[in-house]
A and B are shown apart, each in its own frame.
Chain A
Amino acid sequence: MMNKVFPNKAALSADLKNNPMLRAEIRKQRVGATIRYIILLFFGLVMLYPLFWMFSAAFKPNHEIFSSLSLWPKEFSLDGFINGWNTGTEYTFGRFFLNTLYYVVPKVILTVISSVIVAYGFARFEIPFKKFWFVTLVATILLPTSVLLIPQYLMFREMGMLDSYLPLYLPMAFATQGFFVFMLIQFLRGLPTDMEEAAQIDGCNSYQLLWYIVVPMLKPAIISVALFQFMWSVNDFLGPLIYISSVEKYPIALALKLSIDVTEGTQWNEILAMASIAIVPSIVVFLIAQNYFVEGISSGGVKG
């Protein structure tokens, strides 16, 4: 529902011709709309200009990047992409891309599976000490993760998993991101249970109910969970920084940090070209699936 001052538009337009008061009101609303557009355009441009500038800078030769504010390269050059892609290491940037997927994909899959199972349990079953478990779930959402970082590192070290991707995704198999479980529980509570009851009478057991009835109904929420986990995992920097030490296993986040450290702000075209490539997947996924983001965020409420 939009901000609508007059509930009855039809009656309004009929009155319009012979009512100066209403005409003034309409004019006021038009002025209001114009002001809104100007504000939105202004801030939208200020906000998105840096992104556009980054994409254009990637196509500029290095000496042009900071000498003009223009979004259109005077001298079109692919050097940034070519040199950036080859990186200063023995690996190409493509390698770092693949490395990122090696843990992001398992992370997303494990998160979805474990969170759906646990949310189903919370939303549909009587459980001993259910309130207590639910409180811990909310508490973990608010818990600063830095308090867990050092012992987790020691645990994974003990298990011989350092410099592998396992520490990054293994905990996801246990629904450790309370936020997603919470979001799915909220969604499940809003769904009617009559389908499940009917199927139960027909002799379905709870696994069949989960798989054939609950999961299909949960689909939009599941997609939201997967998308948010994808974005957060791709962006995650501290995790790989702590656990991944050999360059051959670097994900994009570490590779970008490495390239800016190595060139120390001299080869901006290379750095910005790779930074542009790094965010393209996220932008594409977001534009394709933006409705799931908006719905996920406004129903469960999401960080970001």
Chain B
Amino acid sequence: MYENHRLGLLYISPYIIGLLLFTAFPFLSSLIISFTNYDLINPPEYVGLDNYRYMMDDDTFYQSMGVTFAYVFLTIPLKLAFALFIAFVLNFKLRGIKFFRTAYYIPSILGSSVAIAVLWRAIFSLDGLLNNFLGIFGVEAISWLGEPVFAMFSVTLLRVWQFGSAMVIFLAALQSVPQSQYEAALIDGASKWQMFTKITVPLITPVIFFNFIMQTTQAFQEFTAPYVITGGGPAKSTYLFSLYIYETAFKYFDLGYGSALAWVLFLAVAVFTAISFKSSKYWVFYSGDKGGK
């Protein structure tokens, strides 16, 4: 709107300074640190690719990477499917829709806090709420946090529990699907399911994609829940990558290796995101396209 270039630069200058100082500089520094051994006490020592070579034989690295991908692939489809399902149920002339929307949204406001992680521990501990509930049906106490598979399940469930924000975005998208489309389909004798899969889903693919990208970026970085609920255990079954980075750098003060791990995570997420964006050409339809490119 305004032609004054210098004034525009002035307005975004805080952003540029912040970008250089708190993003670009640390981003490149961590790459440099990853080629060193640094323990905060002795000066950093250049070791070339040693940290990366070490990583190739590091069982914890593979374990942690595997667990992280498992976590992402478990939570994201479940969370998005559930969010879409509830949004679909809510998208109707119902009394009290606002009430339900609020109720479903609250967990995603609170979910990432330590308080909720603590609550999760109370629910899934051996003498916890869930085992008490199952006890009513004569089910013997299950060690939810003591068995690798169950521990992963408990941590996963906490993320799925926070589906509310994705749901609200879906709901807004569903409400903007033009009614004329449904009416036309109805006249053609389409069933409810056909309407959903052939009209609703294609029209909201941009929103599905948006939710997918935002949710995966966050899931790759999950830290609080496994750290507080399981501490990464048992047998590193919930040792997500951000825990490994944190402990390497801030518990064992191996900042060089920690940086190398962080860069590998960054590359993994970057590749994953790039693939997602590439694939979006084939399944995301922006209004104006006639069925993809």
Considering the complex, which residues of chain A in the window 266-292 have a beta carbon less than 8 Å from any beta carbon of chain B? 268, 271-272, 274-276, 278-279, 282-283, 286-287, 290
Partner of B123, one of A3, A5, A50: A50
Q: Does B63 contact A (CB under 8 A)?
A: no
User: A235 vs B255: C-alpha distance in the bound complex, in angstroms?
Assistant: 26
Q: Are B14 and A301 in contact (CB under 8 A)?
A: no
Contact of A212 with B by CB under 8 A? no
Quick check: B26 and A137 within 8 Å, CB to CB? no
- Is B122 within 8 A of A2, CB to CB? no
**A222 CA to B124 CA, complexed, in Å:** 39
Provided the pairs A235-B113, A298-B168, A302-B165 are in contact, do residues A242 and B86 lie with their beta carbons within 8 angstroms? no
Q: B residues within 8 A CB of A3? A: 91-93, 182
CA distance A196 to B255 in the complex (A): 51
Known: A238-B223, A256-B118. A149 touches B4 (CB 8 A): no
Q: Mark B103-133, 1 if CB is under 8 A from A, else 0.
A: 1111111111111101101110101110011
B75 within 8 A of partner (CB): no
Complex CA distance for A17 and B162, rounded to whole angstroms: 46
* Closest Cβ neighbor of A205 among chain B residues: B7
Q: Give the complex CA separation of A101 and B127 in angstroms.
A: 35
Q: Which chain A residues lie closer than 8 Å to B26 at the CB level?
A: 147-148, 150-152, 155
User: Knowing A147-B265, A297-B165, A302-B165 touch, does A173 contact B223 (C-beta < 8 A)?
Assistant: no
> Chain B residues with Cβ under 8 A from A127's Cβ?
5, 8-9, 12
Is there an interface contact between A148 and B5, defined as CB atoms closer than 8 Å?
Answer: no
Contact A231 B119 (CB under 8 A): no
Q: How far is the CB of B154 from chain A (nearest CB, A)?
A: 12
Whether a CB of chain B sits under 8 angstroms from the CB of A203 is: no
Q: How far does the Cβ of B261 sit from chain A's closest Cβ, in whole Å?
A: 8
Whether A181 and B15, one on each chain, are in contact in the complex, defined by CB atoms closer than 8 angstroms, is yes
Q: Which residues of B are found within 8 Å of A304, using beta-carbon distances? A: 108-109, 111, 162, 164-165
Say yes or no: B18 contacts A175, CB within 8 Å. yes
Chain B stretch 202-225: residues in CB contact (< 8 A) with chain A? 210-211, 213-215, 217-218, 220-221, 223-224
Q: Which residues of A contact B121 (CB under 8 A)?
A: 260, 265
User: B101 contacts the other chain (Cβ, under 8 Å)?
Assistant: yes
Contacts of B51 in A (CB 8 A): none
With A and B bound together, what is the CA distance between A239 and B171 in angstroms?
Answer: 33
Interface residues of A in 139-165 (CB under 8 A from B): 140-155, 157
Assess whether B46 is interfacial by the CB under 8 Å rule: no
Q: Which residues of B contact A36 (CB under 8 A)?
A: 89-90, 92, 94
Contacts of B271 in A (CB 8 A): none
| A131 to B165 CA separation, bound complex (whole angstroms) | 29
Please name all residues of chain B whose beta carbon is closer than 8 Å to the beta carbon of A141 when the two chains form the complex: 217
B183 CB–A CB distance under 8 Å: yes
For residue B16, CB closer than 8 A to chain A, the reply is yes
Is B73 interfacial (CB 8 A cutoff)? no
Q: Is the CB of A294 within 8 A of B101?
A: yes
Contact assessment for A118 and B22 in the assembled complex, using a CB-CB cutoff below 8 Å: no
Residues B1-54 near A (CB distance < 8 A): 1-5, 7-12, 14-19, 21-23, 25-27, 29-30, 33, 40
Q: Using a Cβ–Cβ cut-off of 8 Å, how many residues does chain A contribute to the interface with B?
A: 104
B residues less than 8 Å from A126 (CB atoms): 2-5, 8
- Considering only residues 16-57 of chain A, those with a C-beta below 8 Å from chain B are 32-33, 36-37, 39-40, 43-44, 47-48, 50-51, 53-54, 57
- The interface on chain B, measured as residues whose beta carbon lies within 8 A of the other chain's beta carbons, has a size of 105
Which residues of A sit under 8 angstroms from B115, Cβ to Cβ?
Answer: 252, 256, 274-276, 278-279
Q: Is B61 an interface residue, CB under 8 A from the partner?
A: no
**Cα distance, A213 to B127, chains bound together (Å):** 59
Contact of B250 with A by CB under 8 A: yes
Q: Does A219 contact B (CB under 8 A)?
A: no
Choose among A44, A140, A175, A232 the residue that contacts B103 (Cβ–Cβ < 8 A): A44
> With an 8 A cutoff between CB atoms, is B102 at the interface?
yes
Q: A234 vs B26: C-alpha distance in the bound complex, in angstroms?
A: 25
**CB <8 Å contact, A174 and B11:** no
- Whether the Cβ atoms of A174 and B15 lie closer than 8 Å is yes
Known: A66-B129, A127-B8, A150-B33. A144 touches B269 (CB 8 A): yes
Known A40-B100, A136-B19, A148-B30; judge A196-B11 contact (CB<8 A).
no
Q: B217 — which chain A residues lie within 8 A by C-beta? A: 141-142, 144, 303
Q: Can you list, as one digit per residue, whether each of B155-183 has a CB less than 8 Å from chain A (1) or not (0)?
A: 00000011011001101100110010011
